[in-house]
């Protein structure tokens, strides 16, 4: 069993002055390692509008590479513009994952649109940065991973990686909408696609991780790292009902694989759980694992799925 030593919460959005678009939430942290800093991308929201509707933006915070609890800088504005009228990302970009590609950086992000019969739908877009990963221009107004007969809705949670000289995109795909106490709640599972160029994708078209706590378990934030001769996936999962509190809320799971295609799930090996009290006492979610200067870290969310920032933990030992 792994063990993660929780370091604390380096970033709390409510403490950032002068950015109304960054009023709360720091969701789905994902890192870009730079020379003197670690840039952590996340998604945030302004206060809801008069109808109680939220819009989601993506941003970053720069942490000191020698002291990850020290903030150096914030994004001055959202790193991506929202889409135009009728576009798949008109109402939100959440989450985002960034990878260096030569002298540029490529981001894959989930674009949100509002619906009538269910609250939302999501597809995956692509954008490119030429200023060191600060701000991004979209490849186009539409998604690069859209709905198909096998993946009909809610394509989200992209995590981009390069393995064996190929682009590999882990993401989630909706399986059903489930009515819970009069509210439509999505059930989604972890999927994977690969590409030679980062534009044209070959999907596996199957769920990678078996369900454990119930058939309608929702899985999110698949993050894969290679170490010790195998692939390690950290992800989060929840019950399909009553998941906004401690009882059915998100927990972090773990699986391993030798070929990226066939995974053995063992959540007891994840090594991190809710705290007895405090900001992550009800849930732990949306893990992102990264290596830095000989150590392995995890960024993750706590109560309210990141409403009050993200935390960091350091792995004791090795994967």
Residues 304-317: tens digit of each pLDDT? 999 999 999 999 98
Average model confidence (pLDDT) across the chain: 96
Non-local CB neighbours of 51 within 8 Å, separated by 6+ positions: none
Non-local CB neighbours of 109 within 8 Å, separated by 6+ positions: 58, 80, 89, 93, 94, 95, 96, 97, 124, 125, 126, 127, 158
What is the mean predicted confidence (pLDDT) over 165-175?
97
**What is the per-residue pLDDT across 65-82, written as a single tens digit (0 to 9) for each?**
999 999 999 999 999 999
Q: Residue 83 and residue 293: Cα distance in Å, rounded?
A: 38
- Residue 161 tokens read as 């990686």
**What is the per-residue pLDDT across 14-37, written as a single tens digit (0 to 9) for each?**
999 899 999 999 999 999 999 999
Residue 245 pLDDT more than 80?
Answer: no
Non-local CB neighbours of 250 within 8 Å, separated by 6+ positions: 220, 236, 237, 238, 243, 283, 284, 285, 286, 301, 305
Share of the chain above pLDDT 70, in %: 100
Q: Residue 249 and residue 185: Cα distance in Å, rounded?
A: 14
Full-prediction pTM beyond 0.85?
A: yes
Which CATH architecture fits 4-315? 5 Propeller (2.115)
């Amino acid at each position: 069993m792994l063990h993660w030593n929780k370091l604390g919460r380096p970033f709390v959005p409510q403490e950032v002055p002068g950015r109304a678009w960054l009023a709360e939430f720091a969701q789905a942290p994902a890192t870009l390692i730079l020379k003197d800093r670690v840039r952590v991308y996340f998604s945030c929201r302004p206060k809801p509008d008069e109808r109680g509707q939220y819009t989601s933006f993506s941003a970053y915070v720069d942490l000191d590479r020698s002291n990850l609890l020290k903030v150096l800088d914030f994004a001055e504005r959202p790193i991506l513009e929202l889409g135009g009228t009728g576009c798949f990302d008109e109402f939100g970009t959440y989450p985002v994952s960034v990878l260096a590609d030569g002298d540029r950086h490529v981001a894959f992000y989930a674009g949100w649109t509002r619906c009538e019969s269910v609250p939302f739908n999501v597809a995956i877009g692509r954008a490119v940065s030429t200023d060191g990963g600060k701000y991004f221009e979209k490849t186009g107004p539409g998604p690069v991973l859209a709905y198909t007969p096998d993946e009909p809705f809610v394509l989200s949670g992209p995590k981009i990686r390069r393995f064996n000289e190929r682009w590999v995109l882990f993401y989630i795909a909706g399986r059903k909408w489930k009515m819970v106490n009069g509210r439509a709640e999505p059930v989604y599972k972890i999927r994977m696609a690969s590409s030679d160029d980062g534009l044209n994708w070959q999907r596996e078209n199957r769920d990678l991780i078996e369900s454990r706590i119930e058939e309608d378990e929702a899985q999110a934030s698949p993050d894969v790292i290679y170490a010790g001769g195998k692939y390690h996936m950290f992800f989060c999962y929840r019950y399909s009902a009553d998941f906004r509190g401690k009882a059915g809320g998100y927990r972090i799971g773990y699986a391993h694989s030798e070929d990226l295609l066939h995974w053995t799930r063992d959540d007891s090996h994840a090594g991190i759980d809710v705290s007895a009290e405090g900001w992550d006492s009800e849930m732990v979610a949306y893990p992102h694992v990264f290596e830095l200067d000989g150590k392995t870290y995890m960024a993750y969310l706590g109560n309210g799925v990141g409403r009050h920032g993200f935390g960091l933990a350091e792995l004791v030992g090795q994967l």
